[in-house]
Amino acid sequence: MNVQTLEGTARELVAPGQGILAADESMGTIGKRFEAVGIETGEESRRAYREMLFTTEGIGEFLSGVILFEETLNQEASDGRPLPQVLLDHGIIPGIKVDKSTVSMPLSPDEKFTQGLDGLGERLPEYREMGARFTKWRAVITIGDGIPSRGCIEANARSLALYAAFCQDHDLVPIVEPEVLIDGDHSIEQCYEATEWTLHATFQALYEQNVEFSGMLLKPNMVISGKEAERQAGVEEVARATVECLRRCVPAAVPGIVFLSGGQSTTQATAHLNAMNSMYDGLPWELSFSYARALQEPPMEIWKGQTGNVEEAQKAFYHRLKMNGAARSGSYSESME
């Protein structure tokens, strides 16, 4: 493990004004999103869609990294360049999602456990050879009747820690993503409690696995009301609860926190990030973004798989990146939309 290399990459990924695009949807997930907007699903449509995003002019101003799905790591743009090289030509660091699908927890079918540790040590050198410099692993925690359970939280924390240790051993920066899902009618207070518990367990497991905190990034949910909750917390309330929870759980050695958007609308995710960065100074970590749908939904709806729509779709993508780049410094406002 080269700690200097890991720290350098981690800090590049949370550079001021920039964030990460999560373009690592599995074939099933992106297929559902394509179907919802009338795009035919297939390897070529997935390739063309990601080429459309990655060839948008000027995105290197606001993107430090892109998380790729394994299929994308092997694909080429229309001009013959590997898609990771397209990103490098923008000055953007390629990364790779390395976890596999989730399965139901034994005796608790409403909770999920993330698979993918088998063979991970053998896969990582191949990903690095193909240009990846960082990785991502997502665990999901559900709030519901009697859940989350200690078994679910601790099993996923241990897997996240082992994943991170494997990656650092190969000089790949691990993005650790323990996501407390927004699905449900739970209150912001319940989300806070579940998030705090999850983060404490995760960092304890990371410590026990000798993971170097200065060479990793955290990708958490924001502390927010459940989607079906009767009372929806306001923007400043979400910002305060999220930062307070992070202060209680995240070591100062971690260079940055790259939030997931997790079911929020495009503008909601931007407003929440902006509020955190405008309300707080002197936090030990950078507060950034690693959004998927919140960056991709507008361009996907415009593109619809049609070559003639590429230019307008790219404009929409660039706009969302610019808005979130502004949110990194707390300078975003609704008037900019």
Catalytic residues: 177, 219
Which whole-number Å values give the CA distances from 145 to 111, 187, 201, 291, in the listed order? Answer: 11, 13, 21, 29
Q: How many whole angstroms separate alpha carbon 8 and alpha carbon 177?
A: 20
Q: How many whole angstroms separate alpha carbon 82 and alpha carbon 53?
A: 14
Query: Residue with structure tokens 């307070």?
Result: 244
DSSP code at position 184? S
3 state DSSP class of 64: strand
Q: Tell me the residue type at 301.
A: E
3 state DSSP class of 229: coil
Alpha carbons within 13 angstroms on the beta-carbon side of residue 76 total 4
DSSP run (H or E) holding 108: strand 108-114
DSSP run (H or E) holding 217: strand 217-218
What's the residue count for the chain?
Answer: 337
- For residue 105, is it left (φ>0), alpha (ψ between -120 and 50) or beta? beta
Q: How many whole angstroms separate alpha carbon 100 and alpha carbon 207?
A: 24
